[in-house]
Amino acid sequence: MADTALVAKRSNRGSKPGERRGGRQKGVPNKATASIKEAAREYTEKALGTFVACIDDVQSPWAAKVAAASAILDRGYGKPSTVISGDEDGGPVALVSTIELIGVRPGEG
């Protein structure tokens, strides 16, 4: 049993705080999906044209037109940020923590 404890202490396993082990490092592109992304980007103009055609088509249902318009705006300007509010006035959510320290004397318990 003592030998196992010594081996565990001597082994160099585990990562240090802030150290990443394994996986792709930050900033390195994913090589597995790079070719798929490149192929999809070839259809960007055609896809945008499809969205515009959907909006302009009189026969398209309103739900499809709204979805197409939303997709165009998201790609052109980015998705809008989500605001989280916790009260009726629209103020920010507050995180309140209370820590109580209760002392008990031996024998009073």
Q: Which residue has the higher pLDDT, 60 or 14?
A: 60
Q: What is the pTM of this model?
A: 0.47
Do the beta carbons of residue 69 and residue 56 sit within 8 Å?
A: no
Q: How far apart are CA 40 and CA 48, in angstroms?
A: 12
Q: Which residue has the higher pLDDT, 108 or 50?
A: 50
- For the stretch 51-98, pLDDT in tens is 999 999 999 999 999 999 999 998 888 887 776 666 666 666 667 778
pLDDT number for residue 106: 79
Q: How far apart are CA 92 and CA 102, in angstroms?
A: 32
Q: How far apart are CA 43 and CA 28, in angstroms?
A: 25
Place of tokens 């082994």: 11
Q: By C-alpha distance, which of 48, 20, 19, 24 is closest to 34?
A: 24
pLDDT number for residue 68: 93
